[in-house]
Amino acid sequence: MAIAWQRRCRALRLRAGRTSGLNATEDRKSGLLWGIWRQFGYYYFFGLIAVSQIVFFLMVIGFSFQRHLMQFFIPGILPITLAAFMVWRDWKKGWRPEPVPRAGFWMLTALLLFAFWCGGYFLADAATTEERARYLTPGLETQVPLLTDFSLIYILVFPLFFLPFFALRSERALRRAALSNFLTLSLCTLTFFVFPVTFARPALPGHADELGAWILSLVHGADPAWNCLPSEHCAMALVAALALLQERRWLGTWALVTAIGIAFSTLCLKQHYLVDGVIGFVVALGMTLGARWQGWERLSLSTSQKKKFGGDGVSSSRSSDGLQDSSEG
């Protein structure tokens, strides 16, 4: 009986070892695929912004681009090709994805935040009438002429919004980026409902086939003339740049310059008052600092410890405080 029992225990251990080995192999494959996808997404959004900036500078020095080809090359062919080549090059050089906790969760979070952005923006638009919208006294923005080429810079806020969720690696940085975006969007959307501000847009130029004028016509068709204060373009661009500055200084510095360019484009396209952009930057800075408040960190760590260990939360709260103190040290 004893020998039979030992054999049975040995067989069960071997079976458990095979199962854990298979699970570990599946986890490694899943982590590898998520890592490759994150790297591709990072190169895509980075390439999309960089290609758009290059095309913009070529337009500034006199080159002319028609929309028929560029509407496919700029958001699609060029950045996708660049991203695929860069991932292939990295792989050939021996690069392998670093494990990122809950990579899929943070990509989904970015999509949900973007949906929250669009939903709140257009819901506030639908709830606002022209009679409720207020005009502000024009300031220095009246001295800036209408420059349709800047529409290519104006729309870069959208890929810049997604970039941190593919570029950041640590759980803390990703959590702070998500919370900063949520707080900023919530405050901006609430302000749109309570205090809608509108801006008198000039007539669009007649040459709609030119790339900049065509993009601006799309913006005017989809974007209402109100929801101006604060500027979500300025706010969201700065939130993304500050998030990137936490871990990747050179990338964050480049993103900060891009955010300033986006803010300037809101004036060149006659989309905002100057005060809209200033308040947008203030909101972004305040919400980013608020997201770094240590109370949020302790609450998040305590919640994760409860989910992991269960219990009444006393011991998990103490362990989270210990983790926080050690991380700060």
Tens-digit pLDDT profile for residues 289-306: 998 875 556 655 555 555
Q: Report the C-alpha gap between 268 and 233 in whole angstroms.
A: 13
Highest mean pLDDT among 99-103, 141-145, 315-319 belongs to 141-145
In a domain? residue 159: yes
Residue 80: exposed, middle, or buried by beta-carbon count in 10 A (0-12, 13-18, 19+)?
Answer: middle
Q: Report the C-alpha gap between 48 and 126 in whole angstroms.
A: 31
Amino acid at 282: V
The token pair that represents 267 in the structure block: 């004036």
In a domain? residue 190: yes
Q: Say if CB 216 and CB 269 are below 8 A apart.
A: yes
Q: Report the C-alpha gap between 5 and 275 in whole angstroms.
A: 79
In a domain? residue 6: yes
In a domain? residue 320: no
Question: What average pLDDT does range 44-69 have in this prediction?
Answer: 90
* β strands within 32-159, DSSP E: 134-135
Q: Report the C-alpha gap between 294 and 315 in whole angstroms.
A: 19
Q: Say if CB 246 and CB 176 are below 8 A apart.
A: yes
- pLDDT band of residue 13 (cuts 50, 70, 90) is low
Q: What is the pLDDT of residue 220?
A: 87
The H or E element spanning position 95 is none
In a domain? residue 322: no
pTM: 0.81
The answer to whether residue 320 scores a pLDDT higher than 60 is no
Q: What is the pLDDT of residue 69?
A: 80
In a domain? residue 60: yes
The H or E element spanning position 88 is helix 78-92
> Rounded to the nearest 10 degrees, how much is the dihedral formed by the CA atoms of 177, 179, 180, 181?
90
Question: What average pLDDT does range 304-317 have in this prediction?
Answer: 46
How far does Cα 235 stand from its chain's mean position? 12
Q: Say if CB 181 and CB 247 are below 8 A apart.
A: no
Is 281 or 206 the better-scoring residue by pLDDT? 281
Q: How many domains does the structure of the chain reveal?
A: 1
Q: Which single residue is written with the structure tokens 């998520």?
A: 34
In angstroms and rounded to an integer, the radius of gyration of the C-alpha atoms of the chain is 25
Q: Say if CB 206 and CB 176 are below 8 A apart.
A: no
- Percent share of the chain, pLDDT over 70: 78
Question: What average pLDDT does range 85-107 have in this prediction?
Answer: 86
Full residue range of the structural domain in which residue 89 is found: 2-292
For the chain, what is the mean pLDDT? 83
Angstrom CA distances, 59 to 102, 174, 209, stand at: 41, 36, 14
In a domain? residue 329: no
- pLDDT band of residue 269 (cuts 50, 70, 90) is very high
CB-CB neighbours of 255 under 10 Å: 26
The token pair that represents 257 in the structure block: 């310059």
In a domain? residue 260: yes
